[in-house]
A = this chain, B = another copy of it.
Amino acid sequence: METPTTRPATLDDVARAAGVSRATASRVLGGYGFASVDARDRVGAAADRLGYVPNTTARALVRGAGVRLVVAVSGTDATVLDDPYVDRLVSAAARVCAPHGVGVALEWLPLGAPAGLRRLGGDRSVCGVLLVNTTAPVLDAVPAGLRGRVVSIGTGSPAVPSFDVDNAAGAEAVLRHLHAGGRRRIAMVTGPRWLSCAERSVTAYQRLMRAAGLPVRLVTGDFTAARGGRAALEALTRWPDTDAIYAASDATALGAIAALRGRGIGVPHDVAVAGFDDIPYAAVSSPALTTATHPVARIATAAATAVLDGRPVPPVTAFPSTLVARESA
């Protein structure tokens, strides 16, 4: 392999150097169709010598394939993109896409403005879309041209397959643990209420509480630590006998713990706190956080792989969530 002094080698250069036609070189390098051993060797050697790297752009153009996978995050404003959850999603997707010559773009999809989706559907350079935090109206607005190239991380629809953690199972695991620990006055700090995939754990919470004859105590959060702290205090103000808080995310739970500590309330002695996600910091918080796993990277990997492959996928892929019992509950 020699350093390209002027410009990167093209397929034509390789073909010329190997003494074959461009078609043959393409066949050899592409690994399809027939090619004699001799041709294969000569082309391979020439490609090595010239340091040939296929131009993914040209390939994509002629094949009609896309070069970008768009991660579109719904939300009321662009701050939804500041979420570490989104960071992990994008990073995992970018890792899966790299070997395919596909890059990842991150966009905010304003809630109730599906025009952005239509634009993505008309963009031939987009090979697929990962919908995040999506809602029914957005799902309904998915243009026909995007069918089969768009998946949802979270809520799905008949037309859009979904990949998500089994929210209900995670909630159930945590709540049963709380119940087994003797907690009976369990308040829940939710995620944003418009987010239907997050509502599933709220629904599970309500169902379980009612089934056990326990009071339902809901406070709205937004997955952030700051809001989690305020919500926890609000719960304790409204229902002073609350003995456990189930937070919809680990960040929320960590914020709750900090707020309770600020009030001199012992965790887990006075109030148990449990989260949902099992982020790396859950293990080293004080007290160490009891939570349920949320395999974000695995979910993003599976979702990105699905759109990259283009093969039909089942309408719903649920990833198991298991309890991680630590000290906080």
Contacts and interface: CB of A to CB of B under 8 A. Distances in A.
A211 interface: no
Contact of A105 (B71, B102, B143, B255): B102
Interface in A37-84: 51-58, 60-61, 66-71, 81-82, 84
Contacts of A284: 225, 229, 254-255, 257-258
A250 B69 CA distance: 32
A94 interface: yes
Given A67-B125, A97-B105, A103-B69, A119 B53 contact: yes
A144 interface: yes
Given A87-B90, A254-B284, A285-B286, A55 B105 contact: no
Nearest to A4: B145
Contact of A68 (B1, B54, B103, B121): B103
A98 interface: yes
Given A251-B281, A288-B258, A103 B95 contact: no
Nearest to A281: B281
Contact of A56 (B58, B104, B125, B254): B125
A1 B60 contact: no
A237 interface: no
Contacts of A5: 144
Of listed A1, A87, A101, A255, residue having the most chain B CB within 10 A = A87
A225 B289 CA distance: 15
Contacts of A145: 4, 8
Interface in A254-296: 254-255, 257-258, 261, 279-281, 283-288
A207 interface: no
A91 B82 CA distance: 9
Nearest to A250: B281
Interface string A103-146: 11111000000000011011111000000000000000001110
A36 interface: no
A90 B297 CA distance: 14
Contacts of A287: 286
B68 A101 contact: yes
A106 to B, nearest CB: 4
A142 to B, nearest CB: 11
A306 interface: no
Given A225-B280, A281-B254, A284-B229, A9 B122 contact: yes
A118 B50 CA distance: 12
A88 interface: yes
B94 A98 contact: no
Nearest to A143: B3
A235 to B, nearest CB: 17
A307 interface: no
16 contacts: A3-B118, A4-B121, A8-B124, A51-B122, A55-B61, A55-B124, A56-B125, A67-B68, A68-B103, A82-B297, A84-B87, A97-B105, A98-B106, A258-B286, A281-B285, A285-B286
